[in-house]
Amino acid sequence: MTDWNKKLTNLIRQNDGTLWGNWSMVAQVNLGDYGVINPETAEFTRLGNIAELYPDFFSTGSKSTGDFFYKTSGVQKHSVTEKISGEFLEPDTETIISGGIKFSWNFSQSNDMLVNFTAVRSDSLKPVQNLLRVDVFKTLLQAAGTAGKRSNSGGILPGFVVVTDVVKSAGGFMVASESSNQKFSIGGEAKATSALVEGLAGDVKAGYSFTESTDSIVKYIFPSPNKCVMRNEQAPQAHIAFRALSFNDKALLTNWKG
């Protein structure tokens, strides 16, 4: 079985060496989550949330970071966007219109990967120094002990982490190929689909109506078909990556890389 989350993490670390990927987005990773990361697979096992237990000690900061686009060398986007026939939902007016567009990519190699998300922001947990407050650290120490990450000197071993940053997106997709010569397409109403693929701007709504792919494509897409998202939307969003802090006994290891 392919460790897709490890491959995603390696891909995005070509640009940012401190991020961990969140392949599939099925398990949301939230600020203040604590648990264990397996560096071999980049998988995070959540045990609890320290910010929920001690809300008075932590706050949240947020900033926009632009679009989130990564691909391996074997992924090639078709140079011409295909115009297609059919009836598709136009999100701004919530009406059905005739005609749309389709974007397509070829995946020439096994384990090729495409990550394409728009309207991305990064939320941060502050101040991380409060993780060393007596009651807070005691809670983390107990959890580390149950996970086999308590040191002989009464501290916490590297690998037990607290999530300090979460990268979220209004929408997009992550796609990978399990074998060579695969294809993935996404299509729908022209303006909404273009916004999802090429980037949200202003008050435009992004969305799509359908996807097509060959048999050996693995894909995760947010939102679901015929749903739309906007740049400033605060509703549930795609949690696509995160940063974590770990420990060396009783010292903080910020931006832990594994």
234, pLDDT greater than 80? no
What does the pLDDT average to over 92-117?
94
DSSP 193: H
Rounded-to-integer distance, Cα 255 and Cα 213, Å: 36
Q: How many CB atoms lie within 10 A of CB 143?
A: 20
Cα dihedral sign, 188-189-194-199: negative
If we measure between CA atoms, which residue out of 256, 257, 247 comes closest to residue 131? 247
Residue 115 sits at φ, ψ, to 5 deg, of -125, 120
Task: Indicate the average pLDDT of the chain.
Answer: 93
Q: How are beta strands 238-248 and 75-77 bridged, if at all?
A: unpaired
pLDDT-derived band at 201, boundaries 50, 70, 90 = confident
If we measure between CA atoms, which residue out of 173, 256, 249, 252 comes closest to residue 217? 173
If we measure between CA atoms, which residue out of 146, 140, 164, 165 comes closest to residue 249? 140
Cβ-contact 50, 163 below 8 angstroms:
no
- Could you tell me the CA-to-CA distances from 132 to 61, 245, 257 in Å, in that order? 20, 12, 20
Q: How are beta strands 251-253 and 210-213 bridged, if at all?
A: unpaired
70, pLDDT greater than 80? yes
Residue of higher predicted confidence among 234 and 149: 149
pLDDT of residue 1: 62
Calculate the CA 13 to chain-centre distance.
13
pLDDT of residue 176: 97
pLDDT of residue 236: 63
pLDDT-derived band at 26, boundaries 50, 70, 90 = low
